[in-house]
Structure 1
Amino acid sequence: MQVYSLDWTPERDRIVSASQDGRLIVWNAQTSQKTHAIKLPCAWVMTCAFSPTGQSVACGGLDSMCSIFNLNSATDRDGNLPVSVTLNGHKGYVSCCQYVPDEDIHIITSSGDQTCVLWDITTGLRTTVFGGEFQSGHTADVLSVSINGTNSRVFVSGSCDGTARLWDTRVASRAMRTFQGHEGDVNTVKFFPDGNRFGTGSDDGTCRLFDIRNGHQLQVYYQQHSDKEVPLVTSIAFSISGRLLFAGYSNGDCYVWDTLLARVVLNLGSVHNSHENRISCLGLSADGSSLCTGSWDTNLKVNLGIWGAQEGYLIRVLRQESISMFPFFSILGCPSCINPTWKRFIPISIMSAVWGDPNLVMLLVTLMRKAD
Structure 2
Amino acid sequence: MSVAELKERHTAATETLNSLKERLRERRLQLLDTDVASYARAQGKTAIALGPTDLVCCRILQGHTGKVYSLDWTPEKNRIVSASQDGRLIVWNALTSQKTHAIKLPCAWVMACAFSPSGQSVACGGLDSVCSIFNLNSPLDKDGNIPVSRMLSGHKGYVSSCQYVPDDDTRLITGSGDQTCVLWDITTGLRTSVFGGEFQSGHTADVVSLSINGSNSRMFVSGSCDATARLWDTRVASRAVRTFQGHQGDVNSVKFFPDGNRFGTGSDDGTCRLFDIRTGHQLQVYTHPQQDDNKPDVTSIAFSISGRLLFASYSNGDCFVWDTLLAEVVLNLGTLQNSHEARVSCLGLSADGSALCTGSWDTSLKIWAFGGHRTVI
TM-score band w.r.t. shorter chain: 0.7 to 0.9
Which position in structure 1 is the counterpart of 2:195?
A: 130
- TM-score (norm. length: structure 2): 0.81
Alignment pair present for 1:271 and 2:336? yes
Which position in structure 1 is the counterpart of 2:217?
A: 152
1:32 partner amino acid? S
Alignment pair present for 1:250 and 2:315? yes
| Segment of structure 1 superposing worse, 128-137 or 19-28 | 128-137
Contact persistence 2:221–2:230 (CA under 8 A): yes
Which position in structure 2 is the counterpart of 1:171?
A: 236
In structure 2, C-alpha distance between the alignment counterparts of 1:170 and 1:253, rounded to whole Å: 39
Alpha-carbon displacement from aligned partner over 1:191-211 (angstroms, at most 9, x marks no partner): 000000000000000000000
Alignment pair present for 1:285 and 2:350? yes
* Cα distance, 1:223 vs structure 2: 2.4
Alpha-carbon displacement from aligned partner over 1:139-184 (angstroms, at most 9, x marks no partner): 0000000000000000000000000000000001100000000000
1:153 partner amino acid? R
Identity of aligned residues (%): 80
* Cα distance, 1:136 vs structure 2: 1.9
Task: Determine helix, strand or coil for the equivalent of 2:148.
Answer: coil
1:94 partner amino acid? V
Contact persistence 2:117–2:168 (CA under 8 A): yes
Which position in structure 2 is the counterpart of 1:201?
A: 266
Contact persistence 2:354–2:376 (CA under 8 A): no
In structure 1, C-alpha distance between the alignment counterparts of 2:113 and 2:128, rounded to whole Å: 14
Which position in structure 2 is the counterpart of 1:73?
A: 138
Alignment pair present for 1:142 and 2:204? no
Q: Residues 371 and 29 from structure 1, CA distance in 2 versus in 1: closer, same or farther, beyond 3 angstroms?
A: closer
Which position in structure 2 is the counterpart of 1:234?
A: 299
- TM-score (norm. length: structure 1): 0.83
Task: Determine helix, strand or coil for the equivalent of 1:189.
Answer: strand
**Structure 1: which 4+ aligned runs deviate by more than 6 Å?**
none
Pairing partner for 2:97 from 10, 15, 32: 32
Task: Determine helix, strand or coil for the equivalent of 1:170.
Answer: coil
Q: 1:37-76 residue pairs with structure 2 within 5 A?
A: 37-76=102-141
In structure 2, C-alpha distance between the alignment counterparts of 1:223 and 1:255, rounded to whole Å: 9
Pairing partner for 2:163 from 86, 98, 115: 98
Alpha-carbon displacement from aligned partner over 1:217-275 (angstroms, at most 9, x marks no partner): 00000122155521000000000000000000000100000000000010011101111
Q: Residues 32 and 230 from structure 1, CA distance in 2 versus in 1: closer, same or farther, beyond 3 angstroms?
A: same
Which position in structure 1 is the counterpart of 2:177?
A: 112
Which position in structure 2 is the counterpart of 1:223?
A: 288
2:352 partner amino acid? D
* Cα distance, 1:134 vs structure 2: 3.7
Q: Residues 11 and 371 from structure 1, CA distance in 2 versus in 1: closer, same or farther, beyond 3 angstroms?
A: closer
Which position in structure 2 is the counterpart of 1:13?
A: 78
Alignment pair present for 1:87 and 2:186? no
In structure 1, C-alpha distance between the alignment counterparts of 2:376 and 2:201, rounded to whole Å: 47
In structure 1, C-alpha distance between the alignment counterparts of 2:260 and 2:343, rounded to whole Å: 29
Pairing partner for 1:295 from 354, 360, 363: 360
In structure 2, C-alpha distance between the alignment counterparts of 1:136 and 1:268, rounded to whole Å: 38
In structure 2, C-alpha distance between the alignment counterparts of 1:171 and 1:93, rounded to whole Å: 24
Query: Unpaired runs of 5+ in structure 1?
Result: 306-317, 319-363
2:81 partner amino acid? V
1:276 partner amino acid? E
Alignment pair present for 1:161 and 2:256? no
In structure 1, C-alpha distance between the alignment counterparts of 2:288 and 2:154, rounded to whole Å: 40
Larger Rg, first or second structure (1 or 2): 2
In structure 1, C-alpha distance between the alignment counterparts of 2:206 and 2:281, rounded to whole Å: 24
Task: Determine helix, strand or coil for the equivalent of 2:334.
Answer: helix
Q: Residues 298 and 89 from structure 1, CA distance in 2 versus in 1: closer, same or farther, beyond 3 angstroms?
A: same
Which position in structure 2 is the counterpart of 1:315?
A: none
1:221 partner amino acid? Y
Task: Determine helix, strand or coil for the equivalent of 1:252.
Answer: coil
Query: Unpaired runs of 5+ in structure 2?
Result: 1-65
Alpha-carbon displacement from aligned partner over 1:13-53 (angstroms, at most 9, x marks no partner): 10000001100000010111110000000010000000000
Higher relative contact order (CA 8 A, sep 6+): 2
In structure 2, C-alpha distance between the alignment counterparts of 1:27 and 1:226, rounded to whole Å: 39
In structure 2, C-alpha distance between the alignment counterparts of 1:145 and 1:157, rounded to whole Å: 4
Alpha-carbon displacement from aligned partner over 1:274-331 (angstroms, at most 9, x marks no partner): 11111100000000000000000111000011xxxxxxxxxxxx2xxxxxxxxxxxxx
2:335 partner amino acid? S
* Cα distance, 1:133 vs structure 2: 2.1
